[in-house]
Amino acid sequence: MSNIEGLVSVKEELKGDVLVLRMQGRLDAISSPSAERKVFDYINNGQHNLLLDFSGIDYLSSAGMRMLLSITKKLKTLSGKLVLCLVTVNVMDVLKMSGFDHVLELVQSEEEALKKF
């Protein structure tokens, strides 16, 4: 488990060819750039199927949304996929208000998410 500048912690677990990243903290203007670098490290190391467990993310700013969009675009170019699961109510409200619920693949459970790959 690595802690990104004390704001977002990421715990990784490989399930078949899907990398599950359990994130905790706030994805805001301060933490998003380093969280994005961390996720891009996984992608650059050949992990193209990413499942983000957002049960521990209690705040998402526009910078966090930009990060998700950037990861989605990068994975699309690599024929990979990004799925988010267990999104908290507050974060889901932000995603819905911004229309991101139509851009991102969002599911309720980890089991459901793993079936998307």
Return d(Cα 69, Cα 89) in angstroms, integer: 20
- The ranges assigned to domains in the chain are 11-115
Please write the tens of the pLDDT for every residue from 101-110.
999 999 999 9
Query: What's the pTM value of the predicted model, to 2 decimals?
Result: 0.92
Choose among 35, 40, 44, 43: nearest CA to 11: 35
Reading the block at residue 72, the tokens are: 């989605």
CATH architecture of 11-115: 2-Layer Sandwich (3.30)
Return d(Cα 101, Cα 31) in angstroms, integer: 22
Spacing of C-alpha 15 from chain mean position: 16
pLDDT beneath 70: ranges in the chain:
1-6
| 55 CB neighbour count, 10 Å cutoff | 15
Q: Supply φ then ψ for residue 79, to 5 degrees.
A: 55, 30
